[in-house]
Chains A and B, each alone.
Chain A
């Protein structure tokens, strides 16, 4: 059971927009910035979003992050087949003094 809660899967057609939610509590998302990662099976995770909706070099602005209270959302516009894979949210939990991740969301581009 993950500390952060994500939907198991989401799907949308190429070119469309999709959002992935990440729910936590006041000890994690409520008081810390959330990071988002993309993982293609068999490869290491890749950072997509960090801090206040910042993107590392090379990550297109089709990817965006937002936060409201104890929940965060990753948005992806202009879906491409290369966007398929698993998406994880993560942050720090102040009560646990530990890093925490969501269980992951599989994105299917129909």
Chain B
């Protein structure tokens, strides 16, 4: 079975940094594009970032561009999200999600989410 497990969330002060990890199993990770999607409490889903299987194509939402960096290590079946210059509005649950066809149009497997809280 496909399994995605996020970790690395926590409480961080405004302006601080945090790195999220998503560990994948049960599928060919290196052949799968991956995404990060976030959801603030009581709000809707917000797409954050996309990375292709080879890391050759990367996209970011305008709200995080220049502050967040997505990366992956296919040898470790791991996806990362380095978050710098964090703001209160970045507070949310962060989900990693597998892209069903690599196009960014649909995500067929999701992790349980990691909570990031940005507060002083």
Residues of A within 8 A of B (CB): 2, 32-35, 37, 39, 44-47, 50-51, 56, 86, 88, 90-92, 96-104
Q: Which residues of B contact A101 (CB under 8 A)?
A: 44-47
Contact partner, B95, options A44, A51, A56, Cβ 8 Å = A44
**Distance, CA A33 to CA B95, complexed state (A):** 22
Q: Which residue of B lies closest to A99 (CB)?
A: B47
Q: Which residues of A contact B112 (CB under 8 A)?
A: 44
Q: Contacts A44-B112, A45-B110, A46-B110 hold; do A92 and B105 have CB atoms under 8 A apart?
A: yes
Residues of B within 8 A of A (CB): 35, 37, 44-47, 50, 59-62, 95, 100-101, 103-113
B44 A35 Cβ-Cβ under 8 A: no
Q: Which residues of A contact B37 (CB under 8 A)?
A: 45, 99
**Distance, CA A97 to CA B35, complexed state (A):** 13
Contact partner, A50, options B46, B59, B105, B113, Cβ 8 Å = B105
Instruction: Report the 10 A-B pairs with minimum CB-CB distance, sorted nearest first.
Output: A99-B47, A35-B106, A50-B106, A44-B110, A92-B104, A104-B44, A101-B45, A92-B105, A103-B44, A47-B108
Q: Contacts A101-B44, A101-B45, A101-B47 hold; do A91 and B110 have CB atoms under 8 A apart?
A: no
**Distance, CA A97 to CA B62, complexed state (A):** 10
